[in-house]
Amino acid sequence: MSPRHFSLKTLAAAVAAAGLSLSFSAQAADTIKVGVLHALSGTMAISETALKDMALMTIEDINAKGGVLGKKLEPVVIDTASNWPLAAEKAKQLIGQDKVAVTFGCWTSVCRKSVLPVYEENNALLFYPVQYEGEELSKNVFYTGAAPNQQAIPAVEYLMSEDGGEARRWVLLGTDYVYPRTANKILRAFLKAKGVADKDIMETYTPFGHSDYQTIVADIKRFAAGGKTAVVSTINGDSNVPFYKELGNAGLKATDVPVVAFSVGEEELRGLDPKPLEGHLAAWNYFMSVKNPANDAWIKQWSDYAKAKRLPGQSTKPLTNDPMEATYVGIHMWKQAVEKAGSTEPDKVIAAMAGQSFEAPSGFTLTMDEKNHHLHKPVLIGEIRGDGQFNVVWKTPAPVKAQPWSPYIEGNDKKKDEPEKQ
Amino acid sequence: MTGYLRTLALLACLALPCLAHALTPEAALAMARGEGSSRIAAMQAAIADDPDERTAAFLRALAANEVAVADGRALIVRNGQAQDPVSGETLPLPASAEGVMNNNRMRGAINAALAALDLFAADAGKRLQAAHAMRQGASAERLPLVDKALAQETDARVKQALEQIRASVHLNAELPAERLAAIATLAGDASPATRLLLGERMAAETDDQVRSELQRALRKIDDRLAWGERLGVVFTGASLGSILLLVALGLAITYGLMGVINMAHGELMMIGAYATYLVQGVFRQYFPGAFDAYLLAAVPAAFLASALVGAILERSVIRFLYGRPLETLLATWGISLILMQLVRTVFGAQNVAVENPSWMSGGWQALPNLTLPYNRIVIIGFAFAVLALVAWIISRTRMGLFVRGVTQNRPIASCMGVNTARVDTMAFALGSGIAGLAGCALSQVGNVGPDLGQSYIVDSFMVVVLGGVGQLAGTVYAALGLGVLNKFLEGWTGAVLAKIAVLVFIIAFIQKRPQGLFAMKGRSAEA
């Protein structure tokens, strides 16, 4: 290689690099960075991968329609690896280094609890898209999933009604961590308020990743011999498959002992043969089977996106679910609030979020509460169908206001329905 | 011939209205539309006296979710074609047709109505089933039907079941004598349903004599139910034990005999489970008729897939690390991460669905309160078959002899002309293949996802260490012992504490007896 040749090449490379960096800085000036903070590996990858893809699809869609405030959104995707201390570090990186305007992320309550101090300290914004146990209200978080009164309590009321089978005895079954424990504490207090005696409530927990439900199913069977029983399951994603398999094989049918689950959606049923589960219930704020134009369009958009990007699993059988809807709604609401505020400044966006509304795929117009950072959401109860979808058997006529501080927990009546001023 | 039959059927159909209670469009609509309670009332009215074949067909269509409502009439919809439930004529499907939805309550009512129709079926087995189905929610309105069925019943077992239905209604009769008679009939049936009925009566009963009679009956039933529960614990323990045995057997070879701390053992199981999933897909695509047999083909496929991966691992990584346990541990752990991520990239992070073939779904009702699921029974059998196979290979075949020889004294075996490197590869592949078999079995009871192996790796090491390294028999006793111990504790303390208690027990046991249940004796132990 002659020296001249070499220098020419170097020059070309230098020019190219300069051009690149130029275009990069030009791009950086008119984009808004948004963080997507989900577990893409580890135990929670099953559930959270779809949320990451949904966030990317929504951002791409917003960009195709002109972006926000005339700027394109630039997603910064971070994998928490289902490791919660790491999630806090990654959140710090998103805010400090990447300077994102907002973060959409987390699934488990423990993830939210560990990143929360980071967001509060830096006065940044987090949109949390999953149903949770309440008992929290931060100025820096918008909760687009359900609070207990938007999911758990209506489900139990339904099972007590004539159509739900008039259950008198209750099995509260969950994975051993903060969400099931708190949810069951609220439910126990609620059941007691409805006149259910302590001996008619059985509360059981299993470790994370528990896979042998023989004893528990046998216990449920024995307990059900004492009167019409319903099971309220807060079993976490992965363990549901062995639980339902055992239930089906032990001959416990939904007509005898219905199981209502708060963490089982279309995505969790993917790994299951749904035939033996027909009739068991789930309570959510959205089901894929809901028929309305907004939902049809959204499902089509997702299927096209999944096929175009060849998302594993989703491209052959695209599924939407409640937390995905909450992610989608959250991103759109943030966009609306930014446009209203004319800025991505967290304090201005927080003020502009109050009262934002969005026509959601659930067929309802969801509104962000003026004060409490939670959405007003409809409650839908669905029975599992033979094809892994849900039949909506009951729904609220209108969206319900969230009660992050459940009135069934002592001392909550004194708590304010809005974040504390800092 | 068929034409003749059809004419006959048509004639019967035309003649029926004057004999039987025929289905009317109004009745069909009332059963399909409206509030739950009014639909159930319409259904009970329709089957009250001598319903015709059309009513039964309509109810069956309702149960199969094949009924739709359009323009104020109920239609049976099959394969995109509508049929009038009353006249039977085929119609084009109206665009406004809306499928009728049944919730659990409706499904229960439809099944009860169908059972009421089946009470008069020709097949005694069907009648018995119908009588059992009618037990639930039996009420006074059903009595005329039951009495009628009882009058013409010839089969003793069906008769008994029908009498129990009568008794469960009479349990709430006005006269104490009638109640006593009902209790005497019901006391013979030790099922949880009867226990529930009698328990409910007990709460409402005021008559002293009836109360004491009830108490006696309840005690008798409880005694018999307790047996079912005890057997249930033993069975669940054996079932958990058989799964532990399966997951630990492969490790008993790779770790126990060869001394390789294989952290990727769980991932080899995962590969076996995914092989099962792929075989299932092939059968669904190309041999849908033989779908139920897919599992038989999946067993060798899972074995070969995992054995192949195991052989590649041994040849490419592990053989360079013999005698360096720490490095083996780290390297195999890294391999496990790579394998998991590989599967995640190819199949996605989500779990995949592996269906039980129909002969493994459901269970065998051994006692009124004890159902033994077929998949568990099959897995127990499978675990022991694999155990027998492994024991035979290790103790009776030439390859087993080589494996034992090489593990006991490598240089001497080598001097005798044994190709030790090849034996190592074969042994490791065998252990891996057995892990694949475990994965195939696990796909029938649990999740199939990239993390499948992670949840079993600790358990499998626990079993091998507890049983005593280098001993197959120890592995068997440890697996079954841990299974039963775990299940007994779980019934007593709950799943979370049971898991902790078992771990504490193992730690304490290993402190006291580091060599495990069965230690290798003789010279090879010191080697």
Instruction: Look up tokens 């020059």; give the residue.
Output: A11
Residues constituting chain B: 527
**Contact residues, chain A, for B457 at CB < 8 Å:** none
Residue A29 has a pLDDT of 57
Residues near B270 by beta carbon (within 8 Å), at least 6 away in sequence = B339, B340, B343, B439, B448, B450, B451, B452, B453
How close does chain A come to B1, measured CA to CA in Å? 38
Chain B: closest CA distance from residue A54 (Å): 15
pLDDT at B6 over 60: no
Question: Of A79, A158, A162, A215, which to mutate for an interface test with B (greatest number of B Cβ within 10 Å)?
Answer: A215
**pLDDT number for residue B7:** 52
Here the tokens at position A328 are 């989608």
> B460 by DSSP, 3-state: which?
helix
Pick from A332-336, A376-380, B255-259, B275-279: least confident:
B255-259
- C-alpha to C-alpha distances, B243 to B173, B250, B358, nearest whole angstrom: 51, 12, 21
Asked whether the predicted pLDDT for residue A22 surpasses 70, the reply is no
Beta bridge partners of A102: A34
Inter-chain Cβ pairs, chain A and chain B, closer than 8 A: 169
Secondary structure (DSSP) of B76-105: EEETTEEE-TTT--EEPPPTT-EE----HH
Q: Do A211 and B446 touch (CB under 8 A)?
A: yes
A248 CA: distance to closest CA in chain B (Å): 7
CB B46 within 8 A of CB B21: yes
The rounded distance, in Å, linking the Cα atoms of A285 and A146 is: 7
pLDDT (0 to 100) of residue A108: 87
- pLDDT(B18) > 70: no
Q: Is the pLDDT of residue A190 over 90?
A: yes
Q: What are the start-end ranges of the H helices in B82-207?
A: 104-118, 124-134, 143-152, 156-170, 176-186, 192-204
* Residue A6 reports pLDDT greater than 90: no
Tens-digit pLDDT profile for residues B402-420: 988 888 888 898 999 989 8
Which one-letter amino acid corresponds to residue B236? Answer: T
Task: Name which residue leads in pLDDT, A252 or A369.
Answer: A369
Do B466 and B248 touch, CB atoms closer than 8 A? Answer: no
Q: Which fold has domain A149-287?
A: Rossmann fold (3.40.50)
Smallest CA–CA distance, residue B278 to chain A, in Å, is 14
Site from A46, A228, A317 to mutate, B interface, most B CB atoms within 10 angstroms: A46
Mutate to test the interface with B, among A214, A291, A384 (most CBs of B within 10 A): A214
- Does the pLDDT value for residue B524 go beyond 70? no
- Give the residue with greater pLDDT, A67 vs A312: A67
| The pLDDT value given to residue B445 | 86
Contact state of A163 with B105 under an 8 Å Cβ cutoff: yes
Query: What's the pLDDT band for A37 if we cut at 50, 70, 90?
Result: very high
Collapsing DSSP states into helix, strand and coil, what is residue B445? Answer: coil
pLDDT band at A231 (very low <50, low <70, confident <90, very high): very high
- Residue A8 pLDDT exceeds 60: no
Of B356, B375, B490, the CB nearest to A215: B490
How far, in Å, are B294, B332, B381 from residue B376 at the CA level?
A: 18, 31, 9
Name the B residues in 116-145 with CB < 8 Å from any A CB: 136
| CB nearest to A207's CB, from B236, B445, B499 | B499
B232 closest CB neighbour out of A204, A218, A272: A218
Q: Give yes or no for residue A196 having a pLDDT over 60.
A: yes
Tokens of A337: 């609030």
When pLDDT is averaged across residues A42-50 and rounded to a whole number, the result is 81
**Rounded distance between C-alpha atoms, residue A76 and residue A95, angstroms:** 11
**Average pLDDT across chain B, whole number:** 85
Identify the weakest region by mean pLDDT among A15-24, A284-293, B120-129, B445-454: A15-24
Residue B468 CB neighbours (<10 A)? 23
Which of A101-110, A362-371, B188-197 bottoms out in mean pLDDT, i.e. has the lowest?
Answer: B188-197
Mean pLDDT of chain A: 88
Whole-number Å distance between alpha carbons of B76 and B83: 5
- Residue labelled with tokens 């580890």: A42
Looking at residue B521, what is its pLDDT? 58
- Write out the two tokens for B374: 């077929």
- Strands A126-128 and A141-143 come out as parallel
Does the CB of A83 have a partner CB in chain B at under 8 Å? no
Nearest CA to A229 out of A315, A167, A303, A161 is that of A167
| A131, A145 contact by CB (below 8 A) | yes
Residue range B117-143: average pLDDT? 77
Q: What number of other Cβ atoms are within 10 A of residue B403's Cβ?
A: 25
Given a contact cutoff of 8 angstroms between Cβ atoms, the answer to whether A388 and A266 are in contact is yes
And the tokens for A345?
């400044």
Largest CA distance in chain B: 97
Residues A277-287, mean pLDDT to the nearest whole number: 92
A393 to B103: CB separation less than 8 angstroms, yes or no: yes
Least confident window among A82-91, A128-137, B236-245, B512-521: B512-521
More confident residue, B520 or A146: A146
AA letter at B161: A
Tell me, what's the pLDDT at A358?
95
Q: Which of B192, B193, B362 sits opposite A249 (nearest CB)?
A: B362
pLDDT at residue A361 above 90?
A: yes
Which residues, at least 6 apart from A25, have a Cβ–Cβ distance to it below 8 Å? Answer: none
Angle value at C-alpha A118, between A112 and A122, nearest 5 degrees: 135
Query: Is residue B258 over pLDDT 80?
Result: yes
Radius of gyration for chain B, computed over Cα atoms and rounded to the nearest angstrom: 31
pLDDT per position as a tens digit, B167-182: 888 887 888 888 888 8
- The rounded distance, in Å, linking the Cα atoms of B335 and B267 is 9
Which helix (DSSP H) or strand (DSSP E) does residue B309 occupy? helix B294-316
- Per the CB < 8 Å rule, is B236 touching A250? no
With beta carbons less than 8 A apart as the criterion, state whether B406 and B471 touch: no
How distant is the Cα of B284 from the closest Cα of chain A, in angstroms? Answer: 14
Task: Assess whether pLDDT exceeds 70 at residue B515.
Answer: yes
Other beta carbons within 10 Å of B137: 11
How many Å lie between the alpha carbon of A350 and the closest alpha carbon of chain B?
Answer: 34
Token representation of residue A291: 């028929």
Q: Distances in Å between the alpha carbon of B313 and those of A332, B89, B239, B339?
A: 49, 66, 31, 11
Interface of B with A in 182-211 (CB under 8 A): 192-193, 195-196, 199-200
Cα–Cα distance for residue pair B347/B341, rounded to 1 Å: 10
Query: Which residues lie below 8 Å from residue B159, measured CB to CB, with a gap of 6+?
Result: B150, B153
Please judge whether B105 and A162 are an interchain contact, meaning their C-beta atoms are less than 8 angstroms apart.
yes
Question: So what's the ipTM on this one?
Answer: 0.77
Question: Residue A318: its pLDDT value, please?
Answer: 92
Phi-psi category of residue B115: left, alpha or beta, with phi > 0 → left and psi -120 to 50 → alpha: alpha
Other beta carbons within 10 Å of A86: 17
Cα–Cα separations (whole angstroms), residue B509 to A377, B123, B478: 54, 59, 12
* Interface contact B176, partner A, CB < 8 A: no
Interface of B with A in 253-282 (CB under 8 A): none
Judge whether residue B1 has pLDDT over 60. Answer: no
Domain ranges of chain A: 149-287
Task: Check residue A26 and give its pLDDT.
Answer: 41
HSE at residue A73, side-chain half, CA atoms within 13 A, is: 30
Query: In order of start, what are the domains of chain B with their CATH numbers?
Result: 18-107 (no CATH), 119-206 (no CATH), 228-520 (1.10.3470)
Model confidence at A78: pLDDT above 90: yes
Residue with tokens 């008119």, as numbered in its chain: A30
| C-alpha to C-alpha distance for A128 and A330, rounded to whole angstroms | 8
A162–B451 CB contact, under 8 Å? no
How close B110 gets to chain A, by Cα (Å)? 11
Of chain A, the end-to-end C-alpha distance in Å amounts to 66
C-alpha pair distances (Å), A86 with each of A93, A207, A240, B433: 11, 22, 27, 36
CA–CA distance, A144 with A152 (Å, rounded to integer): 16
pLDDT of residue B469: 76
Instruction: Choose from A24-28, A277-281, B238-242, B512-516 the range with maximum mean pLDDT.
Output: B238-242
| Contact flag A226-B199 (C-beta cutoff 8 Å) | yes
The pLDDT, as a whole number, for residue A18 is 43
pLDDT mean over A349-369: 94
B68-82, B160-174, B299-313: range with highest mean pLDDT: B299-313
Which residues share a beta bridge with B372? B364
Q: How long, in residues, is chain A?
A: 422
Question: Which three-class secondary structure string do you get for chain A?
Answer: CCHHHHHHHHHHHHHHHHHHHHHHHHHHHCEEEEEEEECCCCCCHHHHHHHHHHHHHHHHHHHHCCCECCEEEEEEEEECCCCHHHHHHHHHHHHHCCCCCEEEECCCHHHHHHHHHHHHHHCCCEEECCCCCCCCCCCCEEECCCCHHHCHHHHHHHHHCCCCCCCCEEEEEEECCHHHHHHHHHHHHHHHHCCCCHHHEEEEEECCCCCCCHHHHHHHHHHHCCCCEEEEEECCHHHHHHHHHHHHHCCCCCCCCCEEECCCCHHHHCCCCCHHHCCCEEEECCCCCCCCHHHHHHHHHHHHHHHHCCCCCCCCCCCCCHHHHHHHHHHHHHHHHHHHHCCCCHHHHHHHHCCCEEECCCCCEEEECCCCCEEEECCEEEEECCCCCEEEEEECCCCECCCCCCCCCCCHHHCCCCCCCC
